[in-house]
């Protein structure tokens, strides 16, 4: 996002973040709820990363990508939520242009990365079910690192497009963002210059952000279903489906919520509701992911019991 000067425009040096400053009581309630969700997100995702890192039986491609997902959820939440919490305690919260620019770019990066990471995890489940005998040969740890590196680099470049390539100008005094943080859509509503070229570029880049990974996930699960139906035994089918149950649950919640937010008709009365849903979307779903993978995964539960047993033995020996 470039700052350009002109006769009818001005250089914006800071933005005012509205949040719920006009509703003090609601803001306090929102702060308490959001703080609990954020702490749950941080604890849950750090917990997943530590368990996978410490247990050798979980050093597999599936859990390698799960650690990546937990890391993304942890970072994406920390990028926006602490700022929203601090702003809840301020009467007139402001953020500098550069800080807003950085926070918006980083948030976009984490969102794109999560979309593509879920697609990569779908591919991993497809290989595991359709080629179980060759799975360890295809999904080696070297291959996993290469896939992860390619994904991280690609999503970083995609995240730069909306905020660097697209030139915009702001009108004088038009710097009030109706949100808790610098959310891309809320900031772009303040633009006064012609955004036709920018909208076209964003439309092109957005096709790589949501539709493409979603179609990849959908295609992967269609092929997974076909492969599972070829398994003769019912128990074999159930076991095959159970290996991707957690991932499918996460994908359904993530994309379902995302689609409902952006396809919902917009009106003036729903502005506060939309920004509250948006900030909770970035907190609740990252908090739910560790719960889903913990409660529905026998390997993780087994690792937890093993760790608990070791802790008990250490305490008894002491």
Give 213-235 pLDDT, tens digit per residue. 999 999 999 999 898 888 888 88
In a domain, 210, yes or no: yes
- Asked if 72 and 117 touch (Cβ cutoff 8 Å), the reply is yes
- Asked if 40 and 111 touch (Cβ cutoff 8 Å), the reply is no
In a domain, 318, yes or no: no
In a domain, 291, yes or no: yes
Q: What is the CATH number of the domain that holds 191?
A: 1.20.1070.10
- Asked if 84 and 216 touch (Cβ cutoff 8 Å), the reply is no
pLDDT of residue 4: 40
Would you call 9 helix, strand, or coil by DSSP?
Answer: strand
In a domain, 5, yes or no: no
Q: pLDDT digits over 232-281, tens only?
A: 888 878 887 777 888 888 888 888 877 776 666 555 445 556 676 777 77
* Tally of domains within the chain: 1
| Pick from 5, 7, 12, 8: nearest CA to 187 | 12
In a domain, 3, yes or no: no
Q: One digit per residue, pLDDT tens: the chain, 318 residues? A: 444 444 455 566 778 887 666 676 777 888 888 899 999 999 989 988 988 888 888 888 988 999 999 999 999 999 888 888 888 877 777 888 788 888 888 888 998 899 999 999 999 999 999 888 889 899 999 999 999 999 999 888 888 776 666 556 666 667 777 777 887 777 777 777 666 666 666 666 666 677 889 999 999 999 998 988 888 888 878 887 777 888 888 888 888 877 776 666 555 445 556 676 777 777 888 888 888 887 666 777 776 677 655 544 544 454
Length of the chain: 318
In a domain, 6, yes or no: no
Backbone angles phi, psi at 176, to 5 degrees: -95, 110
Cα separations in angstroms, 279 against 63, 69, 79, 146, 272: 28, 19, 11, 32, 11
In a domain, 36, yes or no: yes
CB atoms within 10 A of CB 4: 11
Give the domain extent around 216: 12-310
pLDDT of residue 232: 83
Q: Residue 158 and residue 79: Cα distance in Å, rounded? A: 18
In a domain, 316, yes or no: no
């Amino acid at each position: 996002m470039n700052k350009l000067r002109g006769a009818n425009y001005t250089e914006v040096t800071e933005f005012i973040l509205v949040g719920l400053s006009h509703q003090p009581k609601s803001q306090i309630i929102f702060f308490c709820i959001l703080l609990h969700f954020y702490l749950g997100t941080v604890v849950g995702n750090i917990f997943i990363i530590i368990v996978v890192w410490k247990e050798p039986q979980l050093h597999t491609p599936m859990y390698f990508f799960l650690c990546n997902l937990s890391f993304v959820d942890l970072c994406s939440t920390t990028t926006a939520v602490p700022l929203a919490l601090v702003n809840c305690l301020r009467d007139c919260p402001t953020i500098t242009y550069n800080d807003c620019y950085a926070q918006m770019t980083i948030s976009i990066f984490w969102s794109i990365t999560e979309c593509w990471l879920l697609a990569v995890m779908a591919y991993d489940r497809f290989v595991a079910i359709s080629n179980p005998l060759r799975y360890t040969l295809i999904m080696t740890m070297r291959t996993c690192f290469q896939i992860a590196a390619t994904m991280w680099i690609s999503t970083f470049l995609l995240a730069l497009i909306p905020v660097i390539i697209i030139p915009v100008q702001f009108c004088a005094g038009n710097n009030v963002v109706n949100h808790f943080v610098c959310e891309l859509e809320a900031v772009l509503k303040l633009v006064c210059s012609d955004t036709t070229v920018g909208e076209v570029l964003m439309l092109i880049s957005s096709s790589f952000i949501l539709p493409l990974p979603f179609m990849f996930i959908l295609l992967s699960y269609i092929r997974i279903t076909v492969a599972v139906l070829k398994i003769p035994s019912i128990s074999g089918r159930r076991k095959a489906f159970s290996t991707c149950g957690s991932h499918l649950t996460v994908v359904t919640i993530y994309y379902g919520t995302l689609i409902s937010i952006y396809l919902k008709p917009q009106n003036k009365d729903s502005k506060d509701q939309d920004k509250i849903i948006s900030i909770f979307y970035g907190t609740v779903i990252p908090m739910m992911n560790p719960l889903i993978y913990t409660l529905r995964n026998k390997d993780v539960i087994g690792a937890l019991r093993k760790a608990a047993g070791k802790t008990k033995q250490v305490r008894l020996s002491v």
